[in-house]
Amino acid sequence: MTDKREILVTEVALRDGSHAINHQFTVEQVVRVARALDEANVPFIEVSHGDGLAGSSLQYGLSRTNEMELIEAAVSVCKQATIGVLLLPGIGTIKDLNAAAKLGVGMARIATHSTEADISAQHIARSKELGLLTVGFLMMAHMAPPAKLAEQAKLMESYGADVVYIVDSAGALLPDQVAERVRALKESLEVPVGFHAHNNLSLAMANTLAAIKEGATRIDGSVRCLGAGAGNTQTEVFVAVMERMGIHTGIDLYKMMDLAEDIVAPLIQVPQEITRNSLVLGYAGVYSSFRLHAERAAKRFGIDSRDILIELGARKAVGGQEDMIIDVAAEIAKRQAAVESR
């Protein structure tokens, strides 16, 4: 029996995938990927630094190319797709949002920690004033129980969000936990619910299907799984699964397969697989973009990167606390040196 529902997909490889390649996208790469996604009829394409507008910094990672150039390039080649951006209040500003809107962006996703929706009010309001499709993005959703998450989502809705997303930033949620959270939001909100997965526990597809079963209609994917940690729900695979289930996405499966193989795969520096460190991200509940930072710190201090990630999980570190990674690594190295000297 065919399911009559329609799922709207946002492709995040040109934003979340920025983490995986150390924010080294070029204009030419973005043009090729965005044009191919547009031709495959992907409705929404997110483009910005991995940590959102104005994310390029020593703390989060310096971009090779100014993100406004990447956004402008993507807008220029897309005939049907809406280009979106991510903004984390405290990193990106209203000024950055205004600049992106002037370039032709049609969607803004305002992201906060899962218990800090109140800091999104002015950014959501400004996005609405600019006429953008405005999305509330509740990150690290595994750290908030369903009722708390629904409360925070309701705040974003009250500020004017057109959609609210549950974001499994650490890839730490299990399918039943996703179902509980989506159910809580569906019972509390009038606006659609979205879901953004990471594959650190090899559960991105299972979690996405659990979200859809509970009524989520906005889903994120990354072509060829290009995203932070072990990547996101793999877009071309997701489209195939939706077709098998009789759920409409409007995306051309063959074109998605071709662009994944011919255009995106050559950009990937390290295979998007579940390595020991990406596994630890999901196991310990650590922000997926921390992986490369932890690996660099581990090399600098001569310690095991898994120890860093486990400690960050124990401290409940969240996105925006990347500077904590060096401190944790130094403490672990000092502690281990003291033990060895006894």
Confirm or deny that 181 is annotated as ligand binding: no
Region 295-316: mean pLDDT is 92
Q: For 116-132, how does the pLDDT look when each residue is reduced to its tens digit (9 = 90+)?
A: 999 999 999 999 999 99
Q: Which CATH class is domain 8-267?
A: alpha beta
* Structure confidence at residue 265 as a pLDDT band (50, 70, 90): very high
Instruction: Give yes or no: 19 in active site.
Output: yes
CATH no., domain 289-340: 1.10.8.60
Domain with CATH 1.10.8.60 in the chain: 289-340
* Structure confidence at residue 340 as a pLDDT band (50, 70, 90): confident
**pLDDT value at residue 288:** 81
**pLDDT value at residue 1:** 35
Confirm or deny that 287 is annotated as ligand binding: yes
Confirm or deny that 15 is annotated as ligand binding: yes
* Structure confidence at residue 4 as a pLDDT band (50, 70, 90): low
Domain with CATH 3.20.20.70 in the chain: 8-267
pTM, entire model = 0.92
Region 47-59: mean pLDDT is 87
| Burial (Cβ within 10 Å: 0-12, 13-18, ≥19) of residue 33 | buried
Confirm or deny that 196 is annotated as ligand binding: yes
Confirm or deny that 23 is annotated as ligand binding: no
Residue of 19, 23, 113, 123 marked catalytic: 19
Q: For 194-241, how does the pLDDT look when each residue is reduced to its tens digit (9 = 90+)?
A: 999 999 999 999 999 999 999 999 999 999 999 999 999 999 999 999
